[in-house]
Structure 1
Amino acid sequence: MYTSSVADPPVVREPLHAPVAHLIRGGMTEGIHYGSVVVLGAGGEVRLQIGDIEAACYPRSALKPVQAVAMVRAGLPLDGELLSLAAASHSGEERHLAGARRILELAGLTEDALRNTPDLPFGPAVREAWLREGRPASRLAQNCSGKHAAMLYVSRLNGWSLDDYLDPRHPLQQAIAEIAEDLSGQRVAQVSVDGCGAPLFAVSLHGLARAAARITTAAPGTPEARVADAMRAHPEMASGAGRDVAALMRAVPGLLTKDGFEGVQVAALPDGRAVAVKIADGADRARVPVTAAALARAGVDPAALTAFAGEPLFGGGRPVGSVRPARALDPLT
């Protein structure tokens, strides 16, 4: 069973990554993606580890479900689509912008209160349309605006200051750090700044998987369960149309999963089985098939994962290879 005891922080070191995927072109290995993978059983035991699962790493946006749990524990009253958006790396679709505006309205605020970095929409098709229309980068379009709007809302509800809500010393960020430690089971190793400007807390890949499992196994009605239920019921609000994480949650009943920049992904099932993946070079072309292979090793039916086996490599306009997970991830080995 998972416990809430908190261990020492993971060691900050150069991770000892190992091969997790191969680029096969014409039957020959053309390239290798290195990384680390951990698969946890329902009781929290490590069923598979590749690479360095105990070194400190930045989860990037894969930590957003944990941040959302911390905000709900602090009184954030959102549920459903808006709570899913609070844990989102969204594509910048109109529903995402409207949802972020609604959260700000509930807080009695406007877009001007946001302190995330202005950006173009994350979704390629949405970004192209945005540029054709001559629209500038904005804080609302940036993929973390739902999270930032929720941070402002919970800060307003608690009477905390708004201008400095991204300061690691702010009560909200202190609360998030505390919950990150509680759910991961280890002290935060280091604090930096994420791309959106929010504090970024380093834990191990093992700790990230534990945190996801703690969220999906929580009792109904708890902050953890509310976040998991919202994201699973509204996966496109936590990502966007056509995004692989939304498709994966649709394909695997009960699965909660979240991706993060630099090749990070975490996923957990309702019984506590969980996986966490870090691709050393940050490549999404390896992240998706490696995550699918890790889920198969966790016991997910491979038939539900065939769409996530990786895109083919082309030569002369025809498929000549693919990105294949390393043999260590083969569920039959």
Structure 2
Amino acid sequence: MSIVAEVVRSGFVESVHHGVVALTDRPGVGEVDSPFFPRSSSKPLQTVGMLRSGLVPREAADLALISASHDGEPFHLERVTAILAAAGLGPEALRCPADLPFGDATRNAYLRSGGEAAPILMNCSGKHAGMLATCVANGWDLETYLDPKHPLQLALTDAVSELAGEPIAAAGVDGCGAPVLAVSPAALARAFLRLVDAEPGRPERQVADAMRAHPELVAGTESADTILMRAVPGLLVKRGADGVVAAAVPGTAGIAVKISDGAARARVPVLLAALRRLGVTPPVLDEVVLGGGRVVGEVRSVW
């Protein structure tokens, strides 16, 4: 992997981050054809698979939350509850692990109010609600919906492979307990471009349109994904754990970033650099380095 970002403190380069950047039909950085686990960046592809399998959302905004890694803000939890209720289910049906809200401010407020960890608070609960609703629509077993051999997961695997344009290289278990599927960075970038460039009304475009229309549901009020989609018309962005982020600019290119050491702080500066190479002017979101409570450096892209 190539060096894609460096950490500068008080004018001194104290560390570097290696990684891979894939751009569709353009030169990238690193081994863009070597499979990896995209983690939550693959959620929009799974949501397409749910629609293809018969999921009927109450409204388009539900697709944004089903594709989300949400911060656990009250409006996220209300929508997860509503998606489950429409399928005749309650939060107890969720098989993701109990967790606390993802965002610092939301988590601290929740704990101060006396709240405890719960599955609905887990950042993947929207995806799990969508999976359960898809199972209800098909009469599939609800207890085993996370089993890789379950009809739901077989259908989602087929959808991810088709959108990526390559076979699934490996299957693992993600942090939420659902299967996670390995594809190459080049394939992930290609799949995201397919989402935004699909014809209106197709499942791919339905997911992309919902995410871009409701970016606060995809992540959180103050998250980078939300800010970027609000600031750049047509841009689709989805973060993933372990230093992953995928994006697409309609009619231009798809992007996939993987930071090799899993550092989340490096992915945003690298994504911004990729967008600038595509002629997009994103908002200023570069990560800063603090010392004594003040800014003393930055994390910057160097590729």
Tell me the TM-score normalised to structure 1 length.
Answer: 0.88
Local SS of the residue matching 2:270 = helix
Over residues 216-265 of structure 1, what are the superposed CA-to-partner deviations in whole Å (9 max), with x where a residue is unaligned? 11000000111001000000011111010000101111001100000000
Note the C-alpha offset of 1:54.
1.2
Aligned to 2:14: 30
Indicate the SS of the match to 2:133.
Answer: helix
Q: How far did residue 152 of structure 1 move?
A: 0.5
**What does residue 84 of structure 1 align with?**
64
- 1:59 paired with 2:46, answer no
Name 1:238's counterpart in structure 2: 218
1:122 match: secondary structure: coil
1:261 to 227, 236, 241: 241
Q: When the two structures are aligned, how many residues end up with a matched partner?
A: 302
Task: Output the CA distance in 2 between the equivalents of 1:315 and 1:117.
Answer: 35
Distance 2:100 2:294 in 1: 33
One-letter identity of the residue aligned with 2:248: A
**Contact 2:169/2:183 (8 A) holds in 1:** yes
- Structure 1: distance between partners of 2:125 and 2:205: 22
**Structure 1 residues 77-120: Cα deviation after superposition (integer angstroms, max 9, x where no partner):** 11422111110100111111110111111111111111111111
Q: Distance in 1 between matches of 2:101 and 2:135?
A: 26
Partner of 2:154 in structure 1?
Answer: 174
Counterpart Cα distance in 2 of 1:324 and 1:260:
19
The residue type paired with residue 10 of structure 2 is G
- Call closer, same or farther: CA 1:296–1:131 in 2, change over 3 Å: same
- Equivalent residue number for residue 307 of structure 1: 284
Partner of 1:83: helix, strand, or coil?
A: helix
SS class of match (2:83): helix
- 3-state SS of the aligned residue for 1:33? strand
Structure 1: which 5+ residue stretches go unaligned?
Answer: 1-16, 329-333
Structure 1's consecutive aligned runs of 4 or more residues displaced over 6 angstroms after TM superposition are: none
Q: How does 1:1-333 map to 2 (within 5 A)?
A: 17-40=1-24, 45=25, 47-78=26-57, 79-301=59-281, 305-308=282-285, 310-326=286-302, 328=303
Q: Secondary structure at the match of 1:34?
A: strand
CA deviation string 1:107-152 (max 9, x = no partner): 1111111111111111111111111122111111111111101100
Matched AA of 2:21: V
Cα distance, 1:120–1:217 mapped onto 2, change above 3 Å: same
SS at match of 2:218: coil
- Residues 61 and 89 in structure 1, CA contact (< 8 A), matched pair in contact too: yes
Q: 1:250 to 1:107 in 2, by over 3 A?
A: same
Whether contact under 8 Å (1:90, 1:237) holds in the other structure is yes
Change in Cα spacing, 1:220 to 1:128, as seen in structure 2 (3 Å) is same
Q: Distance in 2 between matches of 1:312 and 1:197?
A: 33
Give yes or no for contact 1:116–1:145 (8 Å, CA) kept in 2: yes
Question: Are the equivalent residues in 1 in contact too, given 2:228–2:283 (CA < 8 A)?
Answer: no
Question: Retained in 1: the 8 A contact 2:266–2:287?
Answer: no
Q: Please tell me the root mean square deviation across aligned C-alpha atoms, in Å.
A: 1.2
8 Å contact kept, 1:69–1:224:
yes
Tell me the SS of whatever aligns to 2:120. Answer: coil
SS state of the match for residue 215, structure 2? coil
Q: Percent identity?
A: 50
1:318: how far off?
Answer: 4.0
